Chain A
Amino acid sequence: METLAALPAALWQGLQGGLILCLEIALVVVPLLFGYELAAAYGIFERPWPRLKPLLARLGLGPGALVPLLAGLFLGLIYGAGILLSLSDEQDLPRQERLALAVFLVTCHAVVEDTAIFMLLGGSALAMLGPRVVLAVGLTAWLARRRKP
C-alpha cells in the first residue's frame, strides 16, 4: 500500500520532469532547425567545397557523394532521408560509393542533435561524438583502401 501512496507524487514528478526536458530539448533543437533551413536556403549543402575533395577521395567517395554526406551528417538519417535517397539516385552514385556513404552515415549522422540530447542529461560531448567520428572515418577509409590494391 505504501507504493500506491507514492504513485500520485510520481505522476506529478513525471509530468513536471517530462515537460522540463521537452522544453530543454526544444530550446536546443528548434534553433537548429531554423539554422539548417537557412543553411539549405543559401545552398551550403550543395556547394562543391573543393577543399574537401581530397578528403572525400580518401574515403572512397567522389564529388557526387558530398551533398548526401553533408545532408546526412547534419540533417540526420530520417530528416535527410528524402534528400539522401533522391540524390544518390539522381547523381547515379556507383554501388561502391553508396556502400561507403552508408557505412559512414550509419555510424555518424545527425551528429549535432544526437549529441545535444545526451549533453542535456549531463553527458560529455567529446566522449559521445569523438568515437563516432573516428569510427566512421576509419571504417570508410579502410573500406576504400581495401578496394584499391
Chain B
Amino acid sequence: MNARLTTPGTPPWRPALQRGLARGRAFVWFLLKTLLPLYLATELLKASGLLAWLASYLAPVMGWWGLPGEAAAALCAGLFINLYAAAAVAAPLGLSWQQVSVLGLILGIAHSLLVETAVVRGLTPSYKALTLLRVGLGLASGWLLAMVII
C-alpha cells in the first residue's frame, strides 16, 4: 500500500517482493504456531476418546448442520481463534466434502470474532449488532446449505 513512498528510481516490484518475502516468512511462522499445537491436540483428544465423549453430547445440536459432534470443536476454534485454527481441528476429523463446505461457509461468514469485532468497532458504532448478524447469517446459511447438499 506504500507504493508512493518508494524512491522514484527503483521499480515498484522490487520493494513489493521484499515485503512479500517478509510477510511470507511471518505467515509461515504464524501458521506453525497456530496450526501444529491444535492439530496435535485434536489427534490426542481423538485417540484418548475424550473427543468422542464430548461429541456425543453435542451431536444432536451439530446434527442440524449435518455435522458430527466433533465438528463443534472446529467451529469454536474458528469462531474464537481463526480459520487456520479451525482447519487444524477439522482436518483430523475426516469430514466429507459436503461437511467441510458447510463448516467453511459458516466460518467464512463468522470467524475470528474477538479480533475482527475490534476492527469493525473502528468502522461503525453498530459493531455489536453486526457481530450478532454475522453469527446468525453464518449459522442460517450453513443450515440451508446442509439442507441442500447433505
On whether the beta carbons of A15 and B123 are closer than 8 Å, the reply is: no
| B residues less than 8 Å from A11 (CB atoms) | 40, 43-44
Question: In the complex the two chains form, is A21's CB within 8 Å of B83's CB?
Answer: no
A19 on the B face (CB < 8 A): yes
- Tell me if B108 and A25 are in contact (CB < 8 A): no
Number of interface residues of B (CB under 8 A): 68
Q: Is the interface of A mostly helix, strand, loop or mixed?
A: helix
Asked if B36 and A15 sit within 8 Å, CB to CB, the answer is: yes
User: Which chain A residues (53-72) contact chain B, with CB distance < 8 Å?
Assistant: 71
Q: Is the CB of B101 within 8 A of A9?
A: no
B119 and A118 within 8 A (CB): no
Task: Please state if A38 and B13 are interface contacts (CB–CB under 8 Å).
Answer: yes
Query: Which one of A3, A14, A38, A42 has the greatest number of beta carbons of chain B within 10 Å?
Result: A14
CA separation between A41 and B10, bound complex, in Å? Answer: 12
Residue A131 at the B interface, CB < 8 A? yes
A121 contacts B95, C-beta separation under 8 Å: yes
B47 contacts A122, C-beta separation under 8 Å: no
Contact A132 B97 (CB under 8 A): no
Q: Say yes or no: B108 contacts A21, CB within 8 Å.
A: no
Contact A121 B123 (CB under 8 A): no
| B3 with A40: CB separation less than 8 A | yes
What separation, in Å, do the CA atoms of A18 and B133 have in the docked complex? 33
Q: Name the distance in Å between A51's Cβ and chain B's nearest Cβ.
A: 22
24 A-B contact pairs sorted by A residue (CB < 8 Å): A6-B47, A11-B43, A17-B43, A26-B24, A29-B27, A33-B20, A37-B20, A38-B17, A40-B3, A42-B13, A81-B119, A83-B1, A84-B123, A95-B124, A99-B124, A106-B131, A106-B134, A107-B134, A107-B137, A113-B83, A122-B96, A122-B97, A123-B100, A127-B145
Give A residues with C-beta under 8 Å from B. 3, 6-7, 9-11, 13-15, 17-19, 21-22, 25-26, 29-30, 33-34, 36-38, 40-43, 45-46, 71, 77-78, 81, 83-85, 88, 95, 98-99, 101-103, 106-107, 113-115, 117-124, 127-129, 131-132, 135
